[in-house]
Structure 1
Amino acid sequence: MKVLVLGGTRFFGKHLVNSLLSKGHEVTIATRGKAKDDFGDKVERIIIERTNPNSLRETIGKHYYDVVCDNIAYCSNDVKALLDSLKCGRYVMTSSASVYENQHLSTLEDEFEPDSHNLKWCSREEYPYAEVKRQAESALFQEYPKFQSVAVRLPYVIGEDDYTERLYFYVEQIIKGNPMNLDNLNEQIGFINSAEAGEFLTWIAEQKFVGPINGNSIGTISLKQIIDYVEHKTKIKAIYSSYGLEGSYNGQESFSLDVSRASNLGYCFTELNSWIYELLDKYINMSSSTL
């Protein structure tokens, strides 16, 4: 297949591109031309300005793609600017678990229905992140039914290449002896590894399924379990204080995404416990090497 990837130069976008290439697909990556990549001559490249409809018409609009994988659709205006010019058979949007207003363990896809959400054309800055992602999905499914579209809803994506460093925060503060102000030590939280996120996006791009679908590693973990492991491995005790640094996951209650829909289609997610402790070991080595 000829596949266009928007947002393919870092984090799980790189894993998506590598996964597509490993499956023998012809990949084009669309960027602003500012981020370097290490794909060499394995991919084609086009330079775009995502928020400029004229730029999109003059670049993406001149070509047909079997699949477009869009990792950077943050709002309804992003969707409109792209899809008004797009020629493709299938469109895969990376969405977020944030679209669910009442997050809980085993959250189902039907708990947010973009077809019935009140659509507002908006930019990324007009509403909080959760609402602009809802608006992106709403625009997609309400205004562009001609596309075979999928909205892939992911929880927190983590990995050694996670530029947000949200999970790394906890490891770093323990090793550096910095006090932390944490309000959700015992909440059970769902994650997905960045490599698996890329693989799942590739897999769903190859299917015929349309609509929203969840992706989530099997199982959950609490920050207390994570901190206990880091304390055990480093022999350093975490310091808790109401005056400490705010935890990057503060305010997050227990939640995970139900993946029965993906499982019934044939995708098998990894167990969270099969990889998260290895990731924590890497974070420990990374932080220790900076001392």
Structure 2
Amino acid sequence: MRDVCVIGGNRYFGKRLIDRLTAAGDRVTVVNRGSSPPPAGTVHLVADRDDEESLTRALGTRTFDVVVDQVCYTPRQAAVARRVFAGRTRRYVMTSTVEVYEYEDAPDLVREEAVDPRTVAVDLELPWDDAEFLEGHYGEGKRQAEAVLAAGPAFPYTAVRVAHVLGGPDDFTGRLDHYVSRIRTGAPIAVPAVNHPATYIHVEEIADFLAWAAGQDFTGPVNAASHGVLGTGELCEAVAAHVPGGRVELRSVEVGEVSPFSFVRFYGMDNSRATRLGFTFGHTKEWLPRAVAETLGKDN
């Protein structure tokens, strides 16, 4: 039986992760600000993870086998977490993102070494507490957070770079709803003039991956993505299958806002490191119809 701490994780794939950990017999402690109760069977600690004193006081003398940080978005948060959990845990799993590759102009699936966090410059003085700044620098915040964890002295971390997540009736992003409304009325769907595909992962699969990663001993970045890239057209056709009489019309635009999951650059991740380490991914084409049905609340 392991002692596992999850920071955040009260919704979407975070709550699925907690379900998997408790089902496996782990003792799970959930740390959040107290705005919502954690899943049953867990210990709840209320703390502001941005406040080092608050977090330290809430943890008391507790130690853990694994910490899974679901809500680390900035280098400041990573620095606080590293100071607080150094010596308290044997393993630290940070949920990162495919967006760390936003500056990589790779023509093919990108591997982890394309962004080595040990070479990323960290600027703690940027306005990371400003919500608008953070939203516009999501990938940069995650990249610098990884860099803080990767810096010396050695800290037993891994950064799970998560592909775009689909599926589940509790998908709160509203991104597929955008397509539903456009397809239902036959309205054009704006995409970039050069529209690139990306890698994705099902909500249940990323929960499986994080639960698996918590029990491993590898360190450093690791990509988590299902096999097979998807383009906007494939996503739209999957949505249209659940919209009676729906019609897909993609319209290329040179400037202006484009639809969700439409990309001016290729966001494809190579998952071979995780595969070599022992995780078996599914294929997007196998789970995409189910993911759309789940999100839209319809049957396959």
Q: TM-score w.r.t. structure 2 length?
A: 0.86
Which SS does the other structure have where 1:54 is aligned? helix
1:273 counterpart (279, 285, 291) = 285
1:91–1:2 CA distance, 2 compared to 1 (3 A): same
Q: Superposition pairs for residues 234-249 of structure 1, below 5 Å?
A: 234-239=244-249, 246-249=258-261
Shift of 1:240: 5.0
Q: Which residue matches 1:88?
A: 89
CA RMSD of aligned residues (A): 2.3
Residue identity in the other structure for 1:262: A
Matched pairs, number: 283
Q: Which residue matches 2:123?
A: 120
Shift of 1:23: 1.7
CA deviations 1:60-93 (Å, max 9, x no partner) are 2531011000011101100111221211111000
2:162 counterpart (135, 148, 154) = 154
Which SS does the other structure have where 1:181 is aligned? strand
Q: Which residue matches 1:59?
A: 58
Contact 1:184 1:250 in 2 (8 A): no
Q: Which residue matches 1:220?
A: 229
Contact 2:197 2:262 in 1 (8 A): no
Are 1:73 and 2:76 an aligned pair? no
Comparing 159-168 with 259-268, greater Cα deviation is found at 159-168
CA deviations 1:133-159 (Å, max 9, x no partner) are 1110011111452x3110110111122
Shift of 1:229: 3.6
Residue identity in the other structure for 1:98: E
Shift of 1:124: 4.9
Which SS does the other structure have where 2:148 is aligned? helix
1:264 counterpart (264, 269, 276) = 276
Q: Which residue matches 1:289?
A: none
Are 1:99 and 2:116 an aligned pair? no
In structure 1, stretches of 5+ residues that fail to align are 287-291
Contact 2:196 2:263 in 1 (8 A): no
Q: Which residue matches 1:110?
A: 113
Which SS does the other structure have where 1:249 is aligned? coil
Shift of 1:3: 0.2
Q: Superposition pairs for residues 149-228 of structure 1, below 5 Å?
A: 149-160=157-168, 161-183=170-192, 187-228=196-237
Q: TM-score w.r.t. structure 1 length?
A: 0.89
1:168–1:103 CA distance, 2 compared to 1 (3 A): farther
Which SS does the other structure have where 2:218 is aligned? coil
Q: Superposition pairs for residues 38-53 of structure 1, below 5 Å?
A: 39-40=39-40, 42-53=41-52
1:244–1:259 CA distance, 2 compared to 1 (3 A): closer
Separation in 2, partners of 1:271, 1:129: 27
Contact 1:6 1:29 in 2 (8 A): yes
In structure 2, stretches of 5+ residues that fail to align are none
Separation in 1, partners of 2:24, 2:297: 33
Shift of 1:220: 1.2
Which SS does the other structure have where 1:69 is aligned? strand
Separation in 1, partners of 2:247, 2:256: 15
Contact 1:99 1:112 in 2 (8 A): yes
1:237–1:92 CA distance, 2 compared to 1 (3 A): same
1:227–1:202 CA distance, 2 compared to 1 (3 A): same
Separation in 2, partners of 1:189, 1:284: 21
